[in-house]
Amino acid sequence: MLACPQCKGALRYESERDSLVCDRCRLIYAVKDDIPIMVVKEAESF
């Protein structure tokens, strides 16, 4: 299970956009070539 690099909480996989979502930080981590980009400054906020 992957953890959010910011809050260390569990991430939720969203298959619709192929991304990992942290509901606590409201950040979306993109997945590129099956590798999640676990960098807070690269994440998208929502």
For binding to Zn ion (CB under 5 A), which residues are involved?
Answer: 4, 6-7, 9, 22, 24-25
Q: 35-43, long-range: CB within 8 Å, 24+ apart, which pairs?
A: 36/2, 38/2, 38/5, 39/5, 40/5, 40/6
- Min CB(15)–Zn ion separation in Å: 19
* Rg of the chain taking only CA atoms, in angstroms: 9
